[in-house]
Amino acid sequence: MSDTSQIDETGFDRLLNFTIPARDARGRLVRLGPVVDTILSAHDYPPALKHLLAEALVLTALMGGLMKEEDSQVTLQAHTEGGVVELLVCDFRAGELRGYIKHDAERFAGLGANPPLEALFGKGSIAMTFDVATTQQRHQGIVPLEGSSLAEAVEYYFVQSEQVPTLIRAAVRTGPEGCVAAGLLVQHLPDGEEGRERLHVRMDHPEWEHVMILAGSARHEELVDADLSLEALLWRLFHEEAEIRTEKGAFLSRGCRCSVVRFEEVLARFPKSDREDMRNNDGIIVVDCAFCSREFAIED
């Protein structure tokens, strides 16, 4: 990539994949706009929780972009022990994002306008689950939810659980015109190809240190600047490199997979006596989807 002036530039709600061959590095960029607004609009979250969920959606999209098989799924879950946020969950599959937060509204109201991550989660953990479509294999790693942001916690996951040197930057901007959430993920792959056994991981590898310094210079305002394409941002960060290979990734959309048919299939697994207890006075089972905040009437 030598110049961005003639490139069909990437804006909102699409991943941009890139590699820097001479540095054995790969990465992803994403900037969410209408998609994140649609997901956040399903619940009346306080501003701080909107910010938190928007960041989680960015991280989930970046990790989803690492999966090669289209129908593979990445799920990010943050659990807590006694925290105000009881559960945060987001997932990505085939370009579809969804997510929600379950929290104690009364306790949250006492935290102030911008509570730190520790105040929200207390002693928490973050779990990453990768479901590979072609092999039906599931890989999960769990690490303590530490650091000042979810991005730092996910960085720690890759270093500790995957032994992959990783840098992540995430930024969120909210305003009258809506929410913009963006992120950058860069990883060092000194063995060249993904999937090879990593026997000699070096977090201080000189090639990685070089890439990390350049990527780390990405500023919050650049990430969320709708007038700056992702290609232009990538050029700003790495224009001195001999070669940068880019590939447009998936278009992103809100993808809640709830339906009457799906809930009927789930309910069919319960004994008939349990289903009877679930019925309301009209004899209907009402199922509430936590992701999209819709109710489904199931007449069993």
**pLDDT value of position 7:** 55
Burial of 205 (0-12, 13-18, 19+ CB in 10 A): middle
Listed residue (111, 21, 126) closest to 81, CA to CA: 126
User: With a cut of 50, which residues of the chain have pLDDT below it?
Assistant: 2-6, 192-200
Point out which residues pair with 75 in neighbouring strands: 91, 129
- Give domain limits for the chain: 14-254, 260-298
Residue 54, pLDDT score: 97
Helix (H) or strand (E) holding 73: strand 73-81
pLDDT on residue 265: 75
DSSP character at residue 159: I
Q: Topology of domain 14-254, per CATH? A: Hsp33 domain (3.55.30)
Distance CA 74, CA 97 (A): 10
What local confidence, expressed as pLDDT, does residue 194 receive?
A: 46
What pLDDT score was predicted for residue 20? Answer: 95
pLDDT value of position 206: 85
pLDDT, tens digit, 9 for 90 and up, residues 7-21: 578 889 999 999 999
The pTM assigned to this predicted structure is 0.87
| Residue owning tokens 């990465």 | 27
- Say how far apart CA 28 and CA 65 lie, in whole Å: 7
Sign of CA dihedral 132, 142, 164, 146: positive
